[in-house]
Structure 1
Amino acid sequence: MKGVNVKLSDVLTENRILINIHGKDKYDVLEKMVHAVKTSEKVKDVENLLKKVLEREKIKSTGIGGGIGIPHAQTSGVTDIIACLGVSESGVEFNSLDGKPVHLIFLIATRERTNNTYLGLLSRIARLFIDESFKQKIIQSTSPEEIINLIREKEKE
């Protein structure tokens, strides 16, 4: 996964797309998402990854507004960039910039000192999901396969 032009579909797999995710709070949801990525061979230390994600979230909410949250961490707990998507039709209270619940939660983790790749992926996610009708299609999808196909199509535009 070298380079700045990493696409979301390069780092997101069907088994790391969680439909109807919910929890008692955003930290509970984040814990579920971290545990979903631990099946990847790229995750060396799931406890370290969870700690880093939660620490980052406590500094400042990653709810960027528009129903999107992008919790992220740079950690020695992963060997390469990895992503997980949590979809919540009802929404998760995320202390977002716009005060609204989050429906799409993109968990991104990279190893330390990979700023360009990391920032490139964050901006790609923000650009993909600025399209409200696309966002709604993802939220209303019924399978991880459907979601990954929608993302691949959108990335070709």
Structure 2
Amino acid sequence: MAKGGSVKLSDVLTKERIIIDLNGRDKNDVLGKMVQVTRTSEKVTSETDLLKKVIEREKIKSTGIGGGIGIPHAQTSGVTDIVACLGISEQGIEFNAIDGKPVHFVILIATKERTDSRYLGLLSRIARLFIDEPFKQRIIKSHSPEEIMRLINEKEKE
């Protein structure tokens, strides 16, 4: 992963950090579960700090960007490099999204420094990936993290 180069979701996400049946009592509960799974990456040094920063960021403005997508993100000293976790919820999660609809795809992104241009590029790439309705349907219908990684890899090659 070259510094300053563009980062794809497949560069920062692994099958270990894909949650197929994500659910929770509320948004913070869901974010807590996702941070626990993100912790499986050696890039995460402080689960507590990561969760705190993600929740603080959501309080400022919901990262539910509409279209069933939430991209919670945080800049934290609790990670050493960009790391991602993907949660999929067929029934949907109340996320206070801008369109008022539940969120089915939650892509958690954490980075060490906000000035990292790779991070901003990654956020816009993810938004573009998940705008594609047929792609979202294929992801929702997937039965394994391996299958989801394959779909993401294929889509990113387009």
**TM range, smaller chain:** over 0.9
Structure 2 match to 1:6: 7
Structure 1 range deviating more: 106-115 or 124-133 = 106-115
Conserved in 2, the CA contact under 8 Å of 1:81 and 1:109? yes
Structure 1 match to 2:39: 38
> What are structure 2's unaligned runs of at least 5 residues?
none
Q: SS at the partner of 1:150?
A: helix
Report the CA distance between 1:112 and its aligned residue.
2.0
User: Over residues 21-53 of structure 1, what are the superposed CA-to-partner deviations in whole Å (9 max), with x where a residue is unaligned?
Assistant: 000001100000000011211011110000000
Conserved in 2, the CA contact under 8 Å of 1:25 and 1:92? yes
Q: SS at the partner of 1:77?
A: coil
Q: SS at the partner of 1:122?
A: helix
Number of residue pairs aligned between Structure 1 and Structure 2: 157
Q: SS at the partner of 1:105?
A: strand
User: Over residues 51-83 of structure 1, what are the superposed CA-to-partner deviations in whole Å (9 max), with x where a residue is unaligned?
Assistant: 000000111100000000000000100000000
Write the mapping of 1:74-93 to structure 2, written as runs, cut at 5 A: 74-93=75-94
Structure 2 match to 1:106: 107
Q: Percent identity among equivalent residues?
A: 74
Report the CA distance between 1:129 and its aligned residue.
1.2
Structure 2 match to 1:52: 53
Which ranges of 4 or more aligned residues in structure 1 deviate by more than 4 Å? none
Write the mapping of 1:141-152 to structure 2, written as runs, cut at 5 A: 141-152=142-153
CA distance in 2, matches of 1:148, 1:39: 17
Structure 1 range deviating more: 64-73 or 139-148 = 139-148
Report the CA distance between 1:118 and its aligned residue.
1.1
Structure 2 match to 1:139: 140
**TM-score scaled by length of structure 1:** 0.97
C-alpha RMSD of matched pairs (Å): 0.9
Q: SS at the partner of 2:117?
A: helix
